Structure 1
């Protein structure tokens, strides 16, 4: 949920929600989107082909030519639909700018909505890899917006990374809505410390340096640069090694509180996580118990301990 309590809005290819908008008149309903993510997100459906004026059903299309600037061609009749689609894209991304989106899930392989590895056919050469025309337009217009394809969300690591970024982007937008000053940015940054460290210690240091020198920049520029680095950091995967370092960092706050047996138990759980024997949620649950028990105020405010709803079970995979 957003700070206002409303569902977090994400764009979604319409066919993934069960809408019969595919070229063959069918859909590609994804139950995970509607059944699981639908409890927390509000969907803004987009079907570029239908919304730009094409019929359902319709002739299949594909990308051809230069992968950097491909043409959208009908497969059999060889009609060039590029201009029609690009005009729609120009108008649609400006409409979406008013939707307060925090993420976008695209349909893999689509010549309009595929985000990665969409085939671009070239005469006399093997197909190249590109992006669908609409997905590329969204990526250009909203460079920090978390984006993913539905197929890749079946990978638990990619799924966690995407959804974590969606919630992070919502937190940042809610923060901006408060009309923040430099002091508030310092507080925001402090709460994000362990979360960002789990993705990139280098970018955490860069964010820290940016905030420390914040008085040297106009506030608007400071906030813009912080957003860019913040979302760039979270796009990097939180690997087991990085997570283990953060867990050990958290454990250090309890060196005066825990008994030798408690320390040994916690260390064992962290090692088991590191070795792939238990999921991240196991050592984290014990650490959160100690945070509450010993009222560790600094850790209590760390977003890392609960960056997304526990019901999504994103940290339950090994």
Structure 2
């Protein structure tokens, strides 16, 4: 099997870790983060509003103007303009936090929200929720491949599993770069991610395979960044029961000469139960792992798909 994944660092909105940094002096503790994910991640709490000197408690800010390029203004006194300080701090932290493997942002925040942040007209009327936090936008623009997510969306088991999968893939890539990127290392990395990629984006798996297949004598330092960007984009697409089923069928094929007809029938039955939504993914995965422990296959043993993150997180119990 592959080595146990390293413990990645993740930046997080400080209020989600229970720090009293919100405008009203309170917090928005995420129990998922403080009581579960702390077992496998090292969190780095950040509050951009406090960092730029807005204080605790403070006048709340909100997005004002055009949704595609809003300003962060005081909700009571609009002469308070935090736009440029927040954007500058986003760029500053993007440069400093160069060893993180993910970021969890506070949802709907005018500084940290990634999606559906309310934007107001100058007269105070809401014009919709198409905005993005000033700090988050500046930070993410400089880390386009970094796995990012909002705390509220992590309550969705599929989105939660997808985010954590990407965090560990990002961490694995950083470790590969630390060891030195060679053509052989790049090819092996792609081989290990074969079935995980197939589950998320079967087409992109072939595209990336063709990219490496035509590498020739090209310096892997040149092709590596493109490969990784496309890998992270592919993994951002959530796997479905249909694509998981396809991968499970492929993997079960490696057992066709190793197990009895009755056992093969059981495997197919359990996979079909998963495809129909009767059992979660952990059920066919557990059965397949059981048979591969009895009948090891070196190629399958190297597949990240079998365990893309620590097993104790139990993420596949809910998808």
TM-score when scaled to structure 1? 0.95
- Whole-angstrom distance in 2 between the partners of 1:5 and 1:188: 14
Map 1:280-295 to 2 at 5 A: 280-295=281-296
C-alpha displacement of 1:180: 2.3
User: Deviation of residue 33 (structure 1)?
Assistant: 0.2
CA contact (8 A) 1:292 1:300 kept: no
1:10-47 per-residue CA deviation (whole Å, 9 max, x = no partner) reads 00000001111000000111111011100110011110
> How many pairs align?
314
Larger deviation, residues 262-271 vs 118-127 = 118-127
Q: CA deviation at 1:101?
A: 0.5
1:130-145 aligned at under 5 Å gives the runs 130-145=131-146
Contact 2:5/2:168 (<8 A) preserved: no
Query: What SS does the corresponding residue of 1:72 show, helix, strand or coil?
Result: strand
Please give the secondary structure, in 2, of the residue aligned with 1:208.
helix
Aligned-partner Cα distance in 2 for 1:299–1:66: 51
- Aligned partners of 1:94 and 1:316: how far apart in 2? 37
Unaligned runs of 5+ in 1: none
Matches within 5 A, 1:163-174: 163-174=164-175
8 Å contact kept, 2:52–2:89: yes
- Contact 2:105–2:114 (8 Å) recurs in 1: yes
Task: Calculate the aligned-residue CA RMSD, in Å.
Answer: 1.5
User: Could you say which residue in structure 1 is the equivalent of 2:76?
Assistant: 76
Q: Against the structure 1 CA distance between its residues 282 and 125, is the aligned structure 2 distance closer, same or farther, given a 3 Å change threshold?
A: closer
SS at match of 1:36: helix
CA distance in 2, matches of 1:95, 1:184: 28
Q: Which position in structure 2 is the counterpart of 1:116? A: 115
Shift of 1:178: 0.7
SS of 1:78 mapped into structure 2 = coil
Residue 198 of structure 1 aligns to a residue in which SS? helix
C-alpha deviation, 1:83, in angstroms: 2.3
Matches of 2:111 and 2:36 in 1, distance apart? 26
> Are positions 1:39 and 2:10 aligned together?
no
Deviation by residue 1:288-316 (Cα, 9 ceiling, x = unmatched): 11212111111111111011111100100
Q: Deviations over 1:125-157 (max 9, x none)?
A: 732411101111121010000000001111000
Alignment of 1:1-318 (within 5 A): 7-79=7-79, 80-97=81-98, 100-122=99-121, 126-318=127-319
Q: Given the superposition, is the C-alpha separation of residues 295 and 87 from structure 1 closer, same or farther in structure 2, using an over 3 Å criterion?
A: closer
Using a 3 Å threshold, how does the CA distance of structure 1 residues 71 and 44 change in structure 2: closer, same or farther? same
Higher RCO (CA 8 Å, separation ≥ 6 residues)? 2
Q: How big is the shift at 1:4? A: 10
Report the CA distance between 1:84 and its aligned residue.
2.4
Quote the offset at 1:73 in angstroms. Answer: 0.6
- Alpha-carbon displacement from aligned partner over 1:96-138 (angstroms, at most 9, x marks no partner): 22xx000000000100001111111135773241110111112
Q: Distance in 1 between matches of 2:91 and 2:256?
A: 56
Counterparts of 1:301 and 1:4, CA distance in 2: 12
